[in-house]
Amino acid sequence: MKQVLSKILVTSGVAMGLAMSASSFAAKPDAKAGEELYANGDMSRGILACVACHGVAANSMIPMYPSLAGMPYEYIINQLKNFQTPEGAKSSNRVDAQGNPTMMAPIVAQMTPEDMQNLAIYISKQTLAQPATAKLGADLEVVQRGREIWRAGIPERNVPACASCHGATGKGMPSAFPALSGQHPEYLEAQLLAFADGYRKNGGTENMMGVIANRMNRADMKAVADYAAGIR
């Protein structure tokens, strides 16, 4: 457990470094330009409107797409960059279950660093007005299991507490670890599976989220996702 937490702290430091790098794209991001790109896209460059999937003011109403409202500026930039394929690489850090580029890849490929900055500053200023809740019908045993993993992890499988990075109330650590409170449980579960199966590789230094998720079973993932959605 100590080794895992040590690596997480290193991950946090690296993530903060990436955030500083991301924030150095330009001197002053433009929230109005970001709002325009978010709401209308730019079809002349093949950039679809973000609102179609992520909802008005970044409040998603579709469980398979995450709500982005209020996510930190640097975190949004880093995630957009993760959909791009680095020079010399065969794929990006985020692919689909078949190992192919996601639907985000061709959109982000057309974005400039300024586009990313503008979108990120606009999204970071929004408020999560319609947070998701735990799935209806979740029984007490599932809720208790999710709370247990969130607060204490799974020591016998070397899974650290989710709260150690994402916070006791799921608010995350700005620029390093995302807020999970109020996120769609279906999306959270899908991301844990993607980390575990190697389709999402941007889980920090040595892809620590991939390592952690691999130590969880499907029931654990469902329980944590449901608990995170309802935590406040």
pLDDT tens string 58-90: 999 999 999 999 999 999 999 999 999 888 888
Encode pLDDT of 204-215 as tens digits.
767 899 999 999
Compute the distance between CA of residue 147 and CA of residue 152 in angstroms, rounded to an integer.
Answer: 8
Compute the distance between CA of residue 88 and CA of residue 116 in angstroms, rounded to an integer.
Answer: 22
* 64 marked as binding residue: no
Second CATH level (architecture) for the domain 131-230 = Orthogonal Bundle (1.10)
117: helix, strand or coil: helix
CB atoms within 10 A of CB 166: 20
CATH 1.10.760.10, domain 13-124, yes or no: yes
Residues in the chain with pLDDT < 70? 1-27, 135-138, 205
- Residue identified by tokens 């970001």 is 34
This prediction has a pTM of 0.85
pLDDT at 24: 46
Q: Which amino acid is at 51?
A: V
* 50 marked as binding residue: yes
Compute the distance between CA of residue 36 and CA of residue 38 in angstroms, rounded to an integer.
Answer: 5
pLDDT at 88: 87
Domain locations along the chain: 13-124, 131-230
Compute the distance between CA of residue 174 and CA of residue 186 in angstroms, rounded to an integer.
Answer: 23
Q: Report phi then psi at 200, rounded to 5.
A: -125, 120
pLDDT at 26: 52
Compute the distance between CA of residue 30 and CA of residue 36 in angstroms, rounded to an integer.
Answer: 10
Compute the distance between CA of residue 168 and CA of residue 15 in angstroms, rounded to an integer.
Answer: 20
pLDDT at 206: 74
pLDDT at 138: 62
* Residues whose CB is less than 8 angstroms from the CB of residue 160 and which lie 6 or more positions away in sequence, other chains included: 1, 4, 5, 8, 153, 212
Query: For the chain, how far is it from start to end, CA to CA, in angstroms?
Result: 26
Compute the distance between CA of residue 9 and CA of residue 13 in angstroms, rounded to an integer.
Answer: 6
* 54 marked as binding residue: yes
